[in-house]
Chain A
Amino acid sequence: MAKIGLYLCECGPNIAEVLDLEKISNEIKKDGKVAAIERHKLLCSEDGKKFLAESIEKNGFDRLVIAACSPKQHEATFMDVMSAAGLNPYMFQLVNVREQCAWMTPDKELATYKALRYIRAAINRVRYHRAIEQKEIECNADAIVIGGGITGMEAAVRAAQKERRVYLIEQTELGGMLKCHRVLFPTMELVDQLLKAKVDAVRGNEQIEVFENSEVKDVLGFFGNFVATIETKEKEEITLHAGAIILATGAEPFSPEQLSNFGYGTLDDVYIASEFEKVSADRIATKSGDPPKSVAIVHCVGRKNLGYCSEFCCANSMKIARYIKERLSDAKVVQFYKNLCLPGTQYDKFYKETAEKGVEFIRFTDIEVTREAERLSIKYRKEDHTENNLPVDMVILSTGLVPNSATERFAKMLNIPVDEYGFFKEEHVKLDPVSTVTEGVFIAGCAQGPGNISDSMAQGGAAAGRILSSVTPGGRLQLEPETSQVSESLCVGCGVCVNVCAYGAVTIDELRHISVVNEVLCRGCGNCAAACPSGAARHRHFTTKQITQEMGEILR
Chain B
Amino acid sequence: MKALKMSKPPDDAIRDILRFSLEKKKVQAVFSLSKIEGNGYAYALISNKELLSNICPTFPLMPVNSAKMISRLTAVEAVKSPIAVVLRPCELRALFELVKLEQAKLDNLLFISFVCNGVFPIKAMKDGLDGKLEKYWENARIGQDFAELRESCRICESFVPDNADIVLMTGGSQNNDTSSVLMKTQKGEEFIEGINDQFVEEDRELKGLDNVRNRRAELKKTVFSDLKTEDFGIQGLARIFGRCINCHACSKACPICHCNLCHFEAAESESDPSTFEVDLNNRGALRLPTNTVFYHVGRLIHVTISCVGCGMCSDVCPTDIPVATVFTKIAERVQNSFSYVPGRNVEEKIPILTFERDELEELGE
Contacts and interface: CB of A to CB of B under 8 A. Distances in A.
Instruction: Tell whether A and B belong to one assembly.
Output: yes
B266 interface: yes
Interface in A272-305: none
Nearest to A513: B267
Interface string A466-506: 00000000000000000000001110000000000000000
A490, A512, A514: residue with the most chain B Cβ atoms closer than 10 Å: A490
A372 B322 CA distance: 100
Contacts, number: 8
A331 B29 CA distance: 106
Contacts of A512: 267
A514 B270 CA distance: 13
A490 B267 CA distance: 8
B261 interface: yes
Contact of B261 (A490, A513, A514): A490
Tell me the interface secondary structure of chain B in the complex.
loop
Contacts of A488: 267
A513 B270 CA distance: 11
Contacts of B261: 489-490
Nearest to B266: A489
Nearest to B261: A489
Interface in B257-288: 261, 266-267
Interface string B146-172: 000000000000000000000000000
A549 to B, nearest CB: 12
A488 B267 CA distance: 9
A489 B267 CA distance: 7
Contacts of B266: 489
Nearest to A491: B267
A489 B265 CA distance: 10
A514 B267 CA distance: 10
Interface residues of B, number: 3
Nearest to A490: B261
Contacts of A489: 261, 266-267
Contacts of B267: 488-489, 512-514
Interface string A511-546: 011100000000000000000000000000000000
Interface residues of A, number: 6
A345 B267 CA distance: 74
Contacts of A514: 267
A110 B266 CA distance: 51
Interface string B51-93: 0000000000000000000000000000000000000000000
A345 to B, nearest CB: 73
A512 B267 CA distance: 9
B107 to A, nearest CB: 14
Nearest to A487: B261
A512 B272 CA distance: 11
A513 B266 CA distance: 12
A512 B266 CA distance: 12
A488 B266 CA distance: 10
A228 B277 CA distance: 41
A488 B261 CA distance: 12
Contacts of A490: 261
Nearest to B268: A489
Contacts of A513: 267
B121 to A, nearest CB: 31
A406 B266 CA distance: 46
B265 to A, nearest CB: 10
A224 B267 CA distance: 38
A31 to B, nearest CB: 12
B260 to A, nearest CB: 9
A490 B266 CA distance: 8
Nearest to B270: A513
B274 to A, nearest CB: 13
A514 B266 CA distance: 12
B96 to A, nearest CB: 25
B33 to A, nearest CB: 26
Interface string A59-74: 0000000000000000
A122 B243 CA distance: 51
A489 B266 CA distance: 7
Nearest to A514: B267
A488 B268 CA distance: 11
A488, A489, A512: residue with the most chain B Cβ atoms closer than 10 Å: A489
A363 B266 CA distance: 81
B119 to A, nearest CB: 33
Interface string A207-229: 00000000000000000000000
Nearest to A1: B77
Nearest to B77: A1
A426 B19 CA distance: 73
B108 to A, nearest CB: 15
A193 B164 CA distance: 101
A509 to B, nearest CB: 12
B47 to A, nearest CB: 14
B182 to A, nearest CB: 36
A510 to B, nearest CB: 12
Interface in B235-275: 261, 266-267
A357 B221 CA distance: 122
A64 B84 CA distance: 35
A513 B267 CA distance: 9
A2 to B, nearest CB: 11
A290 to B, nearest CB: 75
A532 to B, nearest CB: 15
A512 B270 CA distance: 11
B78 to A, nearest CB: 12
Interface string B1-27: 000000000000000000000000000
Interface in B188-239: none
Nearest to B80: A32
B95 to A, nearest CB: 24
A311 B261 CA distance: 68
Nearest to A492: B267
A278 B266 CA distance: 68
A129 to B, nearest CB: 16
A396 B267 CA distance: 70
A552 to B, nearest CB: 15
Closest 4 CB pairs of A and B: A489-B261, A489-B266, A489-B267, A490-B261
Given A488-B267, A489-B261, 6 more contacts: A489-B266, A489-B267, A490-B261, A512-B267, A513-B267, A514-B267
Interface of B: 261, 266-267
8 contacts: A488-B267, A489-B261, A489-B266, A489-B267, A490-B261, A512-B267, A513-B267, A514-B267
Interface of A: 488-490, 512-514
